[in-house]
Chains A and B, each alone.
Chain A
Amino acid sequence: MSQRNDLAEYLLRLGDSALVTGQRLCEWCGRAPALEEELALMNVGLDLIGQARGWYDYAAELLDDGRNADALAFKREERDFRNLLIVEQPNGDYAITTLKLFFYDAWHLPTLEQLSESSDERIAGVAGKALKEARYHFKRSSEWVIRLGDGTDESHRRISDAVDRLWRYTIEMVNIDPLEQELAKTGLAADPAFVAEQWQARVAKVFEEATLKLPEPAVPFYLNGRQGLHTEHLGQLLAEMQFLPRAYPDATW
């Protein structure tokens, strides 16, 4: 594959993780445990959907096959999605939602830090903007992990259960993907080794404050979101998210 295609692939990974996270957060609309939390989740989701659009716009230009950002979001199938497995997991209770977001934010922040200095001006522009937003996201989700972990017996139990349930998917935040490593060498993409190191350090620090036990590093298993090998949950999420544009093609407001 050419570097142009590799780059488009990488942009889809960034966009898909942001979009799927945003879609999951929007599922809380009208049913969050408190009004302030509802506002926060919708704000974070909106930021991420806006960022996804930035990545898709650029990916669409590189792919140059007639598809625009909307087509990339709404007309691709499950196997074409490149998001991290963790972001497609169901929201569960507030501990699971919080922890999913925290693991993603702890990966997203160092990724954007690097991308804001990408050799590609367009990438640096989208990332520079997103970085300011991601700092707030990370701050919020880490505060919640600490509050739940170092809270009541029940909140501690719930977030500990969430760690057990989600930990296996964190392999994707720390493994070294060859395509990303190659792109990082040319200064285009975030260096996966740097991101992994940052992710581990941030998670360890917050877990300690949250009085949570840090599990052994996750190990690879048979699924891989970067290759389009997803859990069953993504298909259901896409069915809901893509229903309208597929049922009513070219519908407008």
Chain B
Amino acid sequence: MLPGDLIARESAFDERTAQDLPAAWDCLGQVMDPEVPVVSVVDLGMVRDVEWVDDHIRVKVSPTYSGCPATELIEQLIAEALMEAGFRNPQIERVLAPAWTTDWITEQGREHLRAYGIAPPAGSGKRALIDAETPVITCPHCGSQDTEVVSQFGSTACKALYRCRSCQEPFDYFKCI
């Protein structure tokens, strides 16, 4: 028996097993991106897989950007959420390939982004960005398509700065990669 086992057994949960993986997904659906706190790590497409290995849960996580300072925090939040839900010693595995793409953001995630005032990625991440036509970005505030880019880089690595020519409001655009 390991130190900590006793505490885990005193928790409100019975021993978690492979049968509880759907509950783990539900739990991860509640873990929000700390920088965009309306979108869960599942809706962002960061959680690639959840599996049961050697009596433990293992979560495969794809970071969004190489230098995203939230990556470690997100991994920590995932581990904490799972532990709170009764999964002991969750293993978090960082997966780089295939590289995370905005194509993995779910429809629900896109809706939540829009409602939060961030225009969701337009078009496909597979298309080359160079020489490609600039996609039409819809203003998340008024729905106008008459918008312009202010800067390709915004308040976080994943966002660009835009401005709406119709309602004059600035907004963030979740870059397509």
Contact = CB atoms under 8 A, between A and B. Distances in A.
Is chain B a partner of chain A in the same complex?
Answer: yes
Interface of A: 22, 36-37, 39-40, 43-51, 53-54, 121, 124-126, 128-133, 135-136, 138-140
Contact of A36 (B69, B99, B150, B175): B150
A132 B177 contact: yes
Counting chain B residues whose Cβ lies within 8 A of the other chain, the interface size class is 20 to 34
Interface hub of B67, B99, B100, B155 (most chain A Cβ within 10 A): B67
A40 to B, nearest CB: 4
B96 interface: yes
Given A36-B151, A37-B151, A136-B153, 9 more contacts: A36-B153, A40-B151, A46-B157, A48-B66, A125-B96, A125-B97, A128-B98, A129-B99, A130-B66
Contacts of B63: 129
Contacts of A131: 99
Nearest to A18: B66
B40 to A, nearest CB: 22
A132 B67 CA distance: 13
B130 A138 contact: yes
Contacts of A53: 66-67
Interface in B32-69: 63, 65-69
Given A43-B157, A47-B157, A128-B96, A136 B152 contact: yes
B130 A129 contact: no
Contacts of A138: 130
Contacts of A44: 153
Contacts of A54: 66, 96
A130 B157 CA distance: 13
B125 interface: yes
A50 B153 contact: no
B96 A43 contact: no
A48 B67 contact: yes
Contacts of A130: 66
A70 to B, nearest CB: 14
Nearest to B158: A43
Given A129-B96, A132-B177, A51 B161 contact: no
